[in-house]
Amino acid sequence: MIWNEWVLVFKIGTPLVYIAFTVTQWQQAYLYMKLMRRELEEQFRKIALKEVEGHSLSPHEEKVKEKEK
């Protein structure tokens, strides 16, 4: 088997690199989910505010409304 021919450094380093890669992937997935959740909450907030009449969503939208008048 090839594993028996490996130097000790590779026998230790290979699993460590794999673990580091896996942890990085899980961390990025967690950050992506957190970002997605934040964006969805912002979208739902905007939808809820649109349902309330006369409530401005942002300063930018107020400027657009003023220009239309």
* Tens digits of residue pLDDT in 43-54: 888 777 776 666
CA angle at residue 24 from 21 to 26, to 5 degrees?
Answer: 110
> Which two structure tokens, joined as six digits, stand for 46?
């905007």
Q: Among the residues of the chain, which ranges form H helices?
A: 8-51, 59-68
Which pLDDT belongs to residue 37?
A: 95
For residue 60, the Cα-to-chain-centroid distance in whole angstroms is: 25
On average, the pLDDT of the chain sits at 85
> What is the domain range of residue 9?
2-68
Work out the pLDDT band at 23, boundaries 50, 70, 90: very high
Which pLDDT belongs to residue 51?
A: 66
Share of the chain above pLDDT 90, in %: 45
Query: How many separate domains does the chain show?
Result: 1
The C-alpha atoms of residue 38 and residue 44 are separated, in whole angstroms, by: 10
